[in-house]
Amino acid sequence: MRVVKVPLGDRGYPIFLGSGLLSRLGTHCRRLGLGTRCAVITDRNVARHYGQATGRSLALAGFDPALVTVPAGETAKNLRTVEKCYDRLAAHRLERRSFVVALGGGVVGDLAGFVAATYLRGVGFVQVPTTLLAQVDSSVGGKVGVNLAAGKNLVGAFYQPRLVLADLDTLRTLPDRELRAGTAEIIKYGVIYDAALFRRLERDLLKLLRRDPGVLAAVVARCCEIKADVVGRDETESGLRAILNFGHTIGHALEAISRYGRFLHGEAIAIGQVAAARLSAQLTGLPEPDVERVRTLFHRAGLPTEIRLNARQRHRLSAAMRLDKKVQGGEVRFVLAERVGRVVTGRAVPETLIDQVLTGR
């Protein structure tokens, strides 16, 4: 087992990473000194695979868990689902010292975290991520929230978990398309922060996609270290943390205009990152060969790198980008790369360039 610490003072917490960890969830929770009653919020797919084992581990440690199951997928990440969860928490009589366990991918993590942040003005929160994307990114750092029809993650909070337990064994049942989507956030860390990680991915991508345990463990741990470092230095995104949004302005807008049903998050941000790399070549000096390295890596991961939009879709995309949380004074701001491993934030981009880079023309 590896342990990565998220350094946030008295709100700091450990990320436990390794094989066979799910059965030890109850023991780890016990050490937090929380109340007995708790709720495991999960989705239907994950409940089928890991609901029982999670409940058993908590019960054996003396907890009284309720299993709250929501529909799977991005379309369930909304306020209606939040309200249903509140009702279940009330029925199980959760108290201030109770806690919520998010068992699943980023959708469940963001949703359950928002429920935990707001129910009784905040109960304890534990992340048990079961997708590659959630293990390398969404379970760490405390961004929780839900979508509105108008835009992604427009309602939310910063609310840190008390611990993150990432059992790499759970990735064995993850569908291939979801595993590929998770690599989009991993490639992102290479582009924004760690050129050596990017080179490693160029070398070991196939092993990662084949779920080689050694490569998975090392790569997931490195991503968690990077995220922990960034969040530790800028918890609420007043500066540095914005680098994590590379490719997300376009990606989030694509998800919103397709009503969260066409692209997985990882797929949408793959298109967004390739577009951001092309913008970077024009605006921040990213060398053309590096743009091609970025595009090739996403392509090899089986992720989309371009999209053609008609005039109506382009109009809707730019309206959705204006609702992005990174907008300042009505102007959309981008994270752009200067080279692989180094980015700058807050760059204004002329709108005419955006369509051009989305289609690769």
Name the residues that contact ligand GLY, by CB under 6 A.
Answer: 137, 141, 143, 241, 244-245
Segment interacting with ligand NAD, rule: CB under 6 A, options 127-135, 186-194, 213-221, 272-280: 127-135
Q: Is 207 a catalytic residue?
A: no
User: Are 269 and 251 spatial neighbours (Cβ–Cβ below 8 Å)?
Assistant: yes
Catalytic: which of 121, 172, 312, 361? Answer: 121
Catalytic: which of 77, 188, 222, 227? Answer: 227
Q: What is the C-alpha to C-alpha distance for residues 251 and 198, in angstroms, rounded to an integer?
A: 20
Q: Is 92 a catalytic residue?
A: no
Q: Which is nearer to ligand NAD, 242 or 291 (CB)?
A: 242
User: Are 140 and 79 spatial neighbours (Cβ–Cβ below 8 Å)?
Assistant: no
DSSP letters spanning 181-230: HHHHHHHHHHHHT-HHHHHHHHHHHHHHHTT-HHHHHHHHHHHHHHHHHH
337 binds ligand NAD (CB under 6 A): no
Identified binder of ligand NAD from the candidate list 19, 52, 173, 296, rule CB under 6 A? 173
Q: Is 5 a catalytic residue?
A: no
Select the binding partner of residue 241 from ligand NAD, ligand GLY, none (C-beta < 5 to 8 A, by kind): ligand GLY
CB of 107 to ligand GLY, least distance (A): 14
Q: What is the C-alpha to C-alpha distance for residues 88 and 93, in angstroms, rounded to an integer?
A: 9
Catalytic: which of 185, 225, 255, 267? Answer: 185
Which residue has tokens 């907008």?
327
Select the binding partner of residue 134 from ligand NAD, ligand GLY, none (C-beta < 5 to 8 A, by kind): ligand NAD
CB of 143 to ligand NAD, least distance (A): 4
E-strand ranges in 96-250 read 99-104, 124-129, 143-148, 151-158, 163-167
Phi, psi of 55 (to 5 degrees): -60, -40
E-strand ranges in 106-217 read 124-129, 143-148, 151-158, 163-167
User: Are 15 and 166 spatial neighbours (Cβ–Cβ below 8 Å)?
Assistant: yes
Select the binding partner of residue 135 from ligand NAD, ligand GLY, none (C-beta < 5 to 8 A, by kind): none
Q: What is the C-alpha to C-alpha distance for residues 133 and 180, in angstroms, rounded to an integer?
A: 9
User: Are 277 and 287 spatial neighbours (Cβ–Cβ below 8 Å)?
Assistant: no
Q: Which is nearer to ligand GLY, 293 or 325 (CB)?
A: 325
Q: Is 325 a catalytic residue?
A: no
CB of 254 to ligand GLY, least distance (A): 16
User: Are 68 and 89 spatial neighbours (Cβ–Cβ below 8 Å)?
Assistant: yes
Which residue has tokens 């780890």?
28
Which residues carry out catalysis?
A: 121, 143, 185, 227, 237, 241, 245, 248, 252, 265
Sites of contact with ligand NAD (CB under 6 A): 43, 45-46, 49, 72-74, 77, 104-108, 110, 130-131, 133-134, 137-138, 141, 143, 153, 170, 173-174, 178, 181, 264-266
